[in-house]
Structure 1
Amino acid sequence: MSKAVETTCPYCGTGCGVAVRVTADGVAVEGDARHPSNGGRLCIKGAALGETLVPEGRLLYPAIRDAAGALRRVRWDAALDHVAGALRRIIDTHGPDAVAWYVSGQLLTEDYYVANKLVKGYVGTANIDTNSRLCMSSAVAGHKRAFGEDIVPVSYEDLEQADLVVLVGSNTAWCHPILYQRIVRAKERRPQMKVVVIDPRRTATTDAADLHLPLRAGTDVWLFNGLLSFLHQHGVVDTAFVDAHTCGFDRALAVADNTAGSVRAAAKACGLDESALAEFYRLFARTEKVITAFSMGVNQSSAGTDKVNSIINCHLLTGRIGKPGTGPFSLTGQPNAMGGREVGGLANMLAAHLDLENAQHRELVQTFWRSPSIAHKPGLKAVDLFDAIDASRVKAVWIMATNPVVSLPDADKVKRALGKCELVIVSDVMENTDTTAYAHVLLPALAWGEKDGTVTNSERRISRQRAFLPAPGEARPDWWALAEIGKRWGYADAFGYAAPHEIFDEHARLTAFGNTEALAPRYLNLAGLIGMSAADYDALAPVRWPVPPDRSRPTAHVFSDGRFYTPDRKARFVPTPPRLPVHARDDDYPLVLNTGRVRDHWHTMTRTGLSPRLASHIAEPYVDLHPQDALSCGVREGGLARVATRWGSLVARVRTSGELPRRSVFVPIHWNAQYASDARVGALVNPVVDPVSGEPEFKHTPVRVEEFPVLWHGFALSRRPLPMTQITWWTRITGRCFLRYEFAGRQRIADWPEAACRVLGVRDTGADWIEYEDRSAGQYRAAWVVDERIEACVFVSPRPDLPSRAWLSGLFAKDRLEELDRIGLLVGEPLDRGADTGPTVCSCFGVGRNTILDAIRTQGCTNTEALGRRLRCGTNCGSCIPELKALIAASALEPA
């Protein structure tokens, strides 16, 4: 077996270490036991990374779209000459602000650094923004307002040392499962530790909560303003800390008192039970070691920055910052959102945590880069950037490692903007995405497993991402493509990098350059990493910044000296007057749409959609709503519904999980045009943004839900891709040895056998064809068998409750169908009851719902530990434990 390569997981900001071995049988991925972030544990997405390393769909060669709209393969030199020349012509004609870059938290720090150097220092514009604008920019803005610098003052160890962990707007169990399990294990060791979850939804995370506060969407500022007033009224104030190390408290308190000055007022504004809110306030007041961890439910709001500062205010008032087990903690969404922030990845930042609007800082960066110019004003933030493209003010855009046609709000406007843009360059791993369809130039990038560089996680820990696979085709690093443009513009000395360690060294030197009290003091300082050789860089162990020159001395806890990075070195209380989300619901759109992730998928599914294990948990897009809202909207569980806003619409399967309060709707963010006919939730999202951070309002869009009537429902499993062009509605997932399609139609089908053959691509009249039809009931099912092996099958009914897909999936793993299998296909269910394991609950070990229920009902597994011992479910990442508990509880209520 090959030696393991230690690298990092490319999903969430937890930054887990993984150990990868490449063998003759494929790629084996396991947790890196030596990495401090995860200690060897992985969630199901990380564990399934090997399944996503497939050649299908890869973009392998540069291409340029001709006048007829066809992509023509070209050599790298020709593609880069074309890009450099076209960008230069636009810049010379219209000025540097006529071009823009839209990049991603999927980039490595080295890619990010070169992009920002090229754009801000050599083009002379700040029109480079990142999809981190959509998830973390409110946290950045809140940190800068309070601390003077974008500093996360908490580590993962602090989570385990806290006596109270408050999780705000974060389904941590699904979105940061390894951190969630660290909290759960700490709570098991110290039962006196408390967990409070503040979230409108009752998510899997509430399973560990001592208290769940289902606040009204968008009212977080009222809640934390109320907490600030409560703490002050009850004398829970670190007066010495506030007097010596902060300023602005009186104004912040006056706003809090005026808007939520009593528990009753705060509870009414938040739609909470007064006694439950008072319980939380008292718990916060009497607990010294408090961590308030927040994520997208706080950031993704038109008041996101104020939400962040309202949380920080409470920690400043009580002095619960700068000490072990205390502080506000931003849980980062993407694997390298933090690394991007270090190098100025946002349009309103400079590299090395320097301020774009500070003339001294601009001069410092330009001097270091020896660049001909420097951006002198903030660039266009993500939503504004695509508005400017739509208005033809920006005439060229280079999109790297992201899929804005799916992920941005008002995504149909993004499509329109790219469709009229003079020059669209896309660097990507996959050839066919919603965004590459609009590219004039396509550039093949390296994927995870092929890239070499660094990333920084939520706790400021830098880790190496090491390559373990060769570059396929002509794929190249993103930093290399950017540097080649710089060279073509005559800046060979500035962009003559031979390897990523040279870029990292320059980045480290810039963090130390001018980093003095007299010039530009910053907490970000990588002086201790300057001068690494290629071998040193390759061997770099995970390290949390700052990294001082003397690395032998341990770094003190952030802010333990009470010194911040404002001009007077004092933290700022920020007044946070609460305001309702823009575009509140009305009679036409009476519900509120919330968007977010599901457990096993990531972003727009270009990676996770390739994995059968990840696809098996939630196989299709859905709209979740309260049962009473479903009734009033005329939709029912399992049926289809159209979800519409003022900006767009989609069609999804109806779910009534019981997780949501009245008048709330939840739709996942992941599905795109490759996996569904009509499920891009970004097209529905309100494009309003936070006035400070520019982060969009993904958690509060007025919405209407109505029935999407169809005449029939169906599904098909096939070893080959199937044409869905004539189907009204469809979704697709990847299975083991097959593709699974769910679909529905409005057209009347007179001849189902003929239609089924057409959909499945059966042209051999002598094919082994198994079929059953009940015309009176409108039911049809058929299977195509080739050389005794099932090739495809299709099931159709007027009702959505069709046969089990899990059982049929198992047939595709067989080399030869048995006679009982053929009979089962005719009757629509397995003759062997144990063959139907049911929908997947535990993706780590592929354990289905029916298997779990059988263990509960007949084998005495009445707790999750017993299920784990018998079936292994819940014993890896633990993400399925809340679902296991729900099945146990439901079984206990069944009649004997």
Structure 2
Amino acid sequence: MNVHAAAARVRTTCPYCGVGCGVEATPDGRGGTSIAGDASHPANAGRLCSKGSALGETLGLETRLLHPIVDGARSTWDVALSRTAQGLQRVIERYGPDAVAFYLSGQLLTEDYYVANKLMKGFIGSANVDTNSRLCMASTVAGHRLAFGSDTVPGCYEDLDEADLLVLVGSNAAWCHPVLYQRMALARERRGARIVTIDVRGTATTESADLALTIQPGMDGVLFSGLLAHLADRGAVDRAYVAAHTENFDAALAQARRIAPDVATTAARCGVAPADIASFFDLWRKTARVATLYSQGVNQSWQGTDKVVSILNCHLATGRIARPGMGPFSLTGQPNAMGGREVGGLANQLAAHMGFSSAEIDRVARFWRAPHIAKREGLKAVAMFDAIACGEIKALWIMGSNPAVSLPRADHARAALSRLDLLVISDNVRSTDTIAAGAHVLLPAAAWGEKDGTVTNSERRISRQRPFAPLAGEAKPDWWATAQVAARMGFADAFDYAGPAMIFREHAALSAFENDRARDFDIGGLAELSDAAYDALAPTQWPAPVSAPGGRKRMFADGRFFTPSGRARFGVIAPPSLAAAPSAEFPFLLNTGRLRDQWHTMTRTGLSPRLASHSPDPFVEVNPDDARGLSLIEGGFARVSTAHGSVVLRVAVTNAQHRGRAFVPIHWSDETGNVARVGALVHAFTDPVSGQPDSKAVPAALAPVSYKAQGFVLARARFRLPDEAVWAWSAIEGGYAARIATNTPFAAMLAAASAISPRAEHAKYSDLARGVFRAALIAEGRLDAILFLGPDREPQQWGALATAWRAERLDGAARRFLLSGKSALGDFDASPTICACFGVRSRAIETAIADGADSVAAIGARLKAGTNCGSCLPELRRLIAAAATPALAQTVGSNAMKRSRA
């Protein structure tokens, strides 16, 4: 496809979560691009969340990898590809194919995924290819396959519009899937649908629920076992459906009764009031149109598969599946986790939803003409990195992922990378924690806006990601780099692709090959698309076989499943428990998760000042009673430790956390914060079926940490501050800012800043008696960096410096005011951004409330806040309530956002 000229609108797909929102991108011809929601796309009908709305701010080249690098030096594609191919071949010849592994990403396009899997499983001959989707939705995949015989999402997004009861389990959808959550909220507003949340903490989603159940960690399986027993006791089981279309019901029910025979037992084990459990059970039983939506709180558990199965059991028992407004629904975390599953991106799958039975191996081998195809499942992500650590895997190719941050026991994973004979990384950024671990070959990959291919969202909808910008520097698509390596390894004929359309046609043809409705994934109706038809492909749900290429909304309406018997299987789950219980040494249970405006390890969202303003610092949330008992102070610091590592984070004290529990966000890396990489804390317990790591209930300890000085630094580019300090960078207009806490001598802090601008003029102010130090670096008349430090707990704000920071050249008056921390113009609002979609800050909202805007509708009419994705609505309500209640206002005030990080 030719890249469109300036001002030509291009319809593409958002690169963030699994909602799969359509995006309209319009380049301005000067390097910028305006972003809007695509009103014609069925996934979002024009809505975008805060991250999607800010995509235009993330398209610069500042952090891009623009050319191949071999052994730390700039190289050519020919040298880098040959080094990769030869290195893989040497390892295979010496140690065998299982000494090689690929680690992929749910942010790859389906075509990239397909080629990588074909090379590894089909021609290298090992199934040691896994993906960071293993950390995301693998337990759902396993649950689907156990119950349905296939990895099939039964429903569609329209079920959210039509359900009368929406049950959100382990899902902060208001923040993590806000476009879908607004559909749920609209169903409640228009039709009276009710929303129930089941979680271990308070979130923006639980705040607005009709019923919020805050359960003990790990007890989701208890809750749904209790529900199954209740449904049976009250005669709510659809016996005709169970008899005609399912098997193993009696065994599943018997186990459910052993786990949670009644309301009282369920309530006691879940830690919820019996009346609330009874209310939930009655709602579920009496409401025909029930949609149960679950996400990472269910999946990221060492019993994640059992949790999924316990939910599926209840829907199968009542026949509430495959009909409008009812069914289980997995809210997927990554933009193409589903597409990766389609092509066999997981180590225990072959392409086109096939497994490793002898018949399936033979089928794929014949289609690919691959005589050396892998004959058994490969190593899943955590086991893969263990095999690297012990020397069993010698060569690894990572595409589009940052496992040194995101894997459990991240320190262990990072150390393992240094042991490899060959580490190849394909990425579109030049520096990550994983790259820093010692890549031998770096391959510059295409980024969003340059990519050309397809992704599949949570409702099985295939959408095009189209390019609207030229490839940056020497960047190339991942499928192209993989095919070039394959050719250099002697497999040129099997990887002779002219473009992504050709790959897609092969992928679609494989899905239909010897299928005859025996497999769920069939897009054979798209296998003959011309290049032009592929380019114009409208969003299409699979299956889309030759007989019905337009796709299908819901699956299993005919009661036919993909098990050997054709019946759905009830699952018998293990008694729910924690992977590791709290102890005297580690008395807390640590839960990790996402923030509203950030994504994964922030290599993209971290470039947006708008997104950074909401929650600029890594933090740990604790209950007020726990904070008092440990002498933790709001805005102070705590060391969070587990058996595997420790971090130092700012403290956020909130009733959203129950006693004995703590929450930390996952997004910071060593690139953006020196002691905030929480993957290092997570234990390596994995679900025995899915292999998905447990990151929601890790035993941990908290302890206060104090510093002599706190302050901030503003700089045009990020640089490495002393490790003895605590710091975290966030994007601001024209550069970056970091709040700092330190015991480091002031001179060492200045030396670190000076390294980025060695010829800059220094201006300094020091009052050692008061513990105050301020310095500015001015290069060619422009402020290049500024550092303010003062006594611990003394407020340090940079808002007054905004005028000087924005100035192209500092005049005499600006220089005189510079180190005073004052400005002749108080024109900058440095308060937290509440509505990231429209960049509306808390001060503007508080002013509007004081001026009579006493409802979210009134604020929206005046400022537009809350009128797009709606993820800021809970915070708007808090600010309104705070203004109406003086005591609450004192608690919330201008620091309301610290309370909103649930």
Question: Are the counterparts in 2 of residues 197 and 209 from structure 1 also a CA contact under 8 Å?
Answer: yes
Change (3 A) 1:573 1:748: same
Q: SS of 2:141's equivalent?
A: helix
Q: SS of 2:335's equivalent?
A: coil
| Cα deviation code 1:397-441 (max 9, x no counterpart) | 111100000000001111111111111111111111111122111
Counterpart selection for 1:641 from 625, 632, 638: 638
What's the counterpart of residue 834 of structure 2? 841
1:623 aligns with 2:623: no
Q: SS of 2:297's equivalent?
A: helix
What's the counterpart of residue 68 of structure 1? none
Question: Are the counterparts in 1 of residues 332 and 458 from structure 2 also a CA contact under 8 Å?
Answer: yes
Q: Distance in 1 between matches of 2:668 and 2:752?
A: 26
Q: Distance in 1 between matches of 2:493 and 2:758?
A: 60
Q: Distance in 2 between matches of 1:96 and 1:680?
A: 33
Question: What letter is aligned with 2:663?
Answer: F
What's the counterpart of residue 107 of structure 1? 108
Q: Distance in 2 between matches of 1:783 and 1:457?
A: 48
Change (3 A) 1:432 1:832: closer
Post-superposition offset of 1:489:
2.4
What's the counterpart of residue 64 of structure 1? 70
What's the counterpart of residue 354 of structure 2? 354
1:304 aligns with 2:315: no
What's the counterpart of residue 735 of structure 2? 738
Q: SS of 1:350's equivalent?
A: coil
Q: Distance in 1 between matches of 2:541 and 2:39?
A: 18
Q: SS of 1:34's equivalent?
A: coil
Question: Are the counterparts in 1 of residues 540 and 550 from structure 2 also a CA contact under 8 Å?
Answer: no
What's the counterpart of residue 23 of structure 2? 18
Question: What letter is aligned with 1:891?
Answer: A
Change (3 A) 1:587 1:82: same
What's the counterpart of residue 173 of structure 1? 174
Q: Which stretch shifts more, 384-393 or 112-121?
A: 112-121
| Cα deviation code 1:833-873 (max 9, x no counterpart) | 6744512211122222222112212x011111111112221
| Cα deviation code 1:563-600 (max 9, x no counterpart) | 11001110000011223121211000000110011111
Change (3 A) 1:774 1:596: same
Q: SS of 1:494's equivalent?
A: helix
Counterpart selection for 1:541 from 538, 541, 556: 538
| Cα deviation code 1:623-673 (max 9, x no counterpart) | 111111122223211112111100011111111132111111111101011
What's the counterpart of residue 411 of structure 2? 412
Counterpart selection for 2:844 from 846, 851, 856: 851
What's the counterpart of residue 866 of structure 1? 858
What's the counterpart of residue 43 of structure 1? 49
Q: Distance in 1 between matches of 2:783 and 2:614?
A: 24
Give the unaligned 5+ runs of structure 1: 66-70
What's the counterpart of residue 706 of structure 1? 703
Give the unaligned 5+ runs of structure 2: 1-5, 890-902
Question: Are the counterparts in 2 of residues 837 and 849 from structure 1 also a CA contact under 8 Å?
Answer: no
What's the counterpart of residue 249 of structure 2? 249
What's the counterpart of residue 377 of structure 2? 378
Post-superposition offset of 1:821:
6.6
Post-superposition offset of 1:498:
0.8
Question: Are the counterparts in 1 of residues 757 and 779 from structure 2 also a CA contact under 8 Å?
Answer: no
Change (3 A) 1:88 1:763: closer
Counting only pairs closer than 5 Å after superposition, residues 484-883 of structure 1 correspond to structure 2 as 484-516=484-516, 521-551=518-548, 555=552, 557-725=554-722, 727-749=724-746, 758=754, 761=757, 769=763, 771=765, 774-783=767-776, 790-809=783-802, 811-815=804-808, 828=821, 835-857=828-850, 859-883=851-875
Change (3 A) 1:552 1:100: closer
Q: Distance in 2 between matches of 1:818 and 1:263?
A: 72
Q: SS of 1:866's equivalent?
A: helix
Post-superposition offset of 1:43:
0.8
Question: What letter is aligned with 2:862?
Answer: R
Change (3 A) 1:649 1:566: same
Q: Which stretch shifts more, 553-562 or 174-183?
A: 553-562
What's the counterpart of residue 97 of structure 1? 98
Change (3 A) 1:420 1:837: closer
Question: What letter is aligned with 1:594?
Answer: N
Counting only pairs closer than 5 Å after superposition, residues 214-253 of structure 1 correspond to structure 2 as 214-253=214-253
Q: Distance in 1 between matches of 2:478 and 2:745?
A: 50
Post-superposition offset of 1:810:
5.5
Change (3 A) 1:788 1:436: closer
Post-superposition offset of 1:156:
0.6
Q: Which stretch shifts more, 590-599 or 486-495?
A: 486-495
Q: Distance in 2 between matches of 1:285 and 1:368?
A: 48
Aligned length: 881
Q: SS of 2:329's equivalent?
A: strand
Q: Distance in 2 between matches of 1:504 and 1:882?
A: 42
Change (3 A) 1:754 1:560: closer
RMSD (CA atoms): 2.1
Question: What letter is aligned with 2:427?
Answer: D
What's the counterpart of residue 293 of structure 2? 293
1:3 aligns with 2:4: no
Q: Distance in 1 between matches of 2:135 and 2:573?
A: 21
Question: What letter is aligned with 1:131?
Answer: N
Change (3 A) 1:826 1:590: same
Q: Distance in 2 between matches of 1:880 and 1:819?
A: 42
Q: Distance in 2 between matches of 1:828 and 1:621?
A: 25
What's the counterpart of residue 164 of structure 1? 165
Change (3 A) 1:721 1:312: closer
Q: SS of 2:352's equivalent?
A: helix
Question: Are the counterparts in 2 of residues 107 and 401 from structure 1 also a CA contact under 8 Å?
Answer: yes
Change (3 A) 1:762 1:367: closer
Question: Are the counterparts in 2 of residues 395 and 423 from structure 1 also a CA contact under 8 Å?
Answer: yes
Post-superposition offset of 1:804:
3.0
Question: What letter is aligned with 2:832?
Answer: P
What's the counterpart of residue 451 of structure 2? 451
Q: Which stretch shifts more, 551-560 or 100-109?
A: 551-560
Question: Are the counterparts in 2 of residues 727 and 744 from structure 1 also a CA contact under 8 Å?
Answer: no
Change (3 A) 1:388 1:706: same
Q: Which stretch shifts more, 371-380 or 498-507?
A: 371-380
Q: Distance in 2 between matches of 1:400 and 1:340?
A: 13
Question: What letter is aligned with 1:18?
Answer: V
Identity %: 51
Question: What letter is aligned with 2:482?
Answer: L
| Cα deviation code 1:751-809 (max 9, x no counterpart) | 799779857857666x6x474x5544323445556677544332212223423344434
